[in-house]
Chain A
Amino acid sequence: MKSLLSLLFVLLMLTAALPVQARSLSPVEGLEALRRSFGTMQDFTADLTQEKQLSIMKKKLVMQGQIRFKKPDRFYMELVPPYSSKVLLKDTVLLQRLGNQGELQRIVLPPEQGLSRWFATLAKPITAVPEGMEVRAEQTGSQTSVTIRPAKGGQLKELTIVLHDDGTVRKLVLEERAGDKTVMTFRKTRKNVGLTDADFRLE
């Protein structure tokens, strides 16, 4: 569970501001493009709409909020009412508060799953698709879609990142093996705006 959370944090950040290739991408090219794009980013903010479709629900659970990231190891997500919550990750320490007056929850991730460790890994060029992973990349009009199928056996069945040719991510889709689906749509993405530690507080 913790490793999945870490992966999702990284994926969220990777999708903040990614340049679109004007041609079809091979799997390695697709992954490498994501990695290189992140290399030019020091921080970013974006408005977020998270739609959750569960097999247990007739309607979608729609949450609105904002995310922020700052290298090397800060991530913040705030959802507004009626599903208000705040999440702050400082490398390996995750803080979460549900609602405005909920108790603060603190989770310590293993060192190998900390944000700084993830991004140190991403500093290395990708020369091959990781074993067991499937990657597809295609461009339609002004949008490019990169779909990643992690190695079998994990919770995630498929991850799709949709990018616009202005270099911003428009959508992140997480499909679980059990059939549940989460769609995150990003708007007003801004990168390298000079975020400081004051932007990463969970009061």
Chain B
Amino acid sequence: MFRLCLLIMLSALLSACAMKQPFTDNSQVVPGRVVETLSSSVTLSLRSGEKNISGRGFMVYRRPDQMRLIMLSPFGTTVMEAQLAGERLTLTYPADGVAYQGQIKDLPPATGQRGFAMLRWVLDSEPPTGAPVSGVVEQQTSRGGLEQITIKNGIVLEKSLKSGEQVRYRNHTVLAGVRLPLELQLESAEGDRIRLVLEEPEVNTELEEQMFTVPLQGLRLFPLSQLKAR
């Protein structure tokens, strides 16, 4: 379960890009404009081994590194909440009355730390400077690994790492002059698959600070290092 949460967080962050109108051509794109904020209802599906888990929720994102995601039960109550602020991660499970908070580096290695290590890499869905309009480009990531980027008509369709992680960007459209995908498909090195779909997204609207604050009252707070697979 915890690995799922990490992957969901990762997928949500991946989605820092969304739009309502079907993408037709690059003429709708405003050069240099990027996603500064994003808010959207989302659906998430995970396939991990024999497990299939899916849910609906809501997320907000603000460049460069703030994100909050709420996953809901069929009746609208909160199942899980995740908040990322810089290097600090908070996970809450209201039904269990517990929350975990700490630095990303404090995540137990067996519970998906690598997923968060990938965040910056995944968020960068723009073609590299000087890349061809269509083709495959290889370059060093900021963390030192080698990544392969597949580009078509100026759109990044896929990125992969030598270590096995792969993300596919699908269903591109343009919203507020920004070109971004509505659907992201992530596959971890271990074979877990995540599908994230944005529903009714809004880009570059003003988001208040309180929207990124996770309520912890009434919850027992534990160090992130004590988190176990759920």
Q: Which residue numbers of A lie inside 8 Å of B, CB to CB?
A: 1, 3-5, 8, 12, 50, 52, 54-58, 61, 63, 77, 82-83, 85, 87, 96-99, 102-106, 153-156, 174, 176-180, 182, 184
What are some 24 contacts across the A-B interface (CB < 8 A)? A3-B95, A5-B73, A54-B70, A55-B210, A55-B215, A56-B39, A56-B68, A58-B39, A61-B58, A61-B76, A82-B199, A87-B74, A98-B56, A102-B43, A103-B47, A153-B218, A155-B94, A155-B95, A155-B97, A174-B77, A176-B78, A178-B92, A178-B218, A180-B78
**With an 8 A cutoff between CB atoms, is B45 at the interface?**
yes
Q: How far is the CB of A142 from chain B (nearest CB, A)?
A: 27
Complex Cα gap A82–B20 (Å): 13
Q: Is the CB of B53 within 8 A of A56?
A: no
Complex Cα gap A54–B224 (Å): 25
**With an 8 A cutoff between CB atoms, is B41 at the interface?**
yes
Number of interface residues of B (CB under 8 A): 38
Q: Is the CB of B78 within 8 A of A155?
A: yes
| Majority secondary structure, B binding face | strand
Q: Is the CB of A182 within 8 A of B200?
A: no
Complex Cα gap A63–B93 (Å): 24
Nearest opposing residue in chain B for A155, CB measure: B94
Given contacts A54-B70, A98-B56, whether A1 and B96 have CB atoms under 8 Å apart is yes
| Majority secondary structure, A binding face | mixed
Residues of B within 8 A of A8 (CB): 73, 75, 77
**With an 8 A cutoff between CB atoms, is B79 at the interface?**
yes
Partner of A174, one of B75, B92, B95, B199: B75
Nearest opposing residue in chain A for B72, CB measure: A52
Nearest opposing residue in chain A for B40, CB measure: A57
Complex Cα gap A50–B72 (Å): 12
Residues of A within 8 A of B59 (CB): 56
**With an 8 A cutoff between CB atoms, is B60 at the interface?**
yes
Nearest 5 pairs of A and B residues by beta carbon: A182-B76, A1-B95, A178-B215, A52-B76, A155-B94
Residues of A within 8 A of B140 (CB): none
**With an 8 A cutoff between CB atoms, is B21 at the interface?**
no
Partner of B76, one of A58, A82, A174: A174
Residues of A within 8 A of B81 (CB): 178
Given contacts A57-B39, A155-B77, A182-B76, whether A177 and B218 have CB atoms under 8 Å apart is yes
Complex Cα gap A176–B215 (Å): 11
Residues of A within 8 A of B68 (CB): 56
Nearest opposing residue in chain A for B81, CB measure: A178
Q: Is the CB of A103 within 8 A of B54?
A: yes
Complex Cα gap A51–B174 (Å): 28
Partner of B52, one of A50, A56, A61, A104: A104
Complex Cα gap A85–B56 (Å): 9
Q: How far is the CB of A78 from chain B (nearest CB, A)?
A: 10
Given contacts A57-B58, A105-B53, A178-B94, whether A1 and B79 have CB atoms under 8 Å apart is yes
Partner of B58, one of A1, A56, A87: A56
**With an 8 A cutoff between CB atoms, is B191 at the interface?**
no
Nearest opposing residue in chain A for B44, CB measure: A98
Residues of A within 8 A of B55 (CB): 98
Nearest opposing residue in chain A for B215, CB measure: A178
Partner of A99, one of B43, B47, B74, B213: B43
Nearest opposing residue in chain A for B59, CB measure: A56
Residues of A within 8 A of B93 (CB): 1
Complex Cα gap A156–B97 (Å): 11
Given contacts A55-B215, A85-B74, whether A98 and B58 have CB atoms under 8 Å apart is no
Residues of B within 8 A of A61 (CB): 41, 58, 76
Residues of A within 8 A of B73 (CB): 1, 4-5, 8
| Contact indicator per residue, chain B 206-222, by CB within 8 Å of chain A (1) or not (0) | 00001101010110000
Q: Is the CB of A182 within 8 A of B75?
A: yes
Complex Cα gap A13–B77 (Å): 17
Nearest opposing residue in chain B for A178, CB measure: B215
Q: How far is the CB of B206 from chain A (nearest CB, A)?
A: 9
Given contacts A83-B199, A154-B97, A178-B217, whether A103 and B52 have CB atoms under 8 Å apart is yes
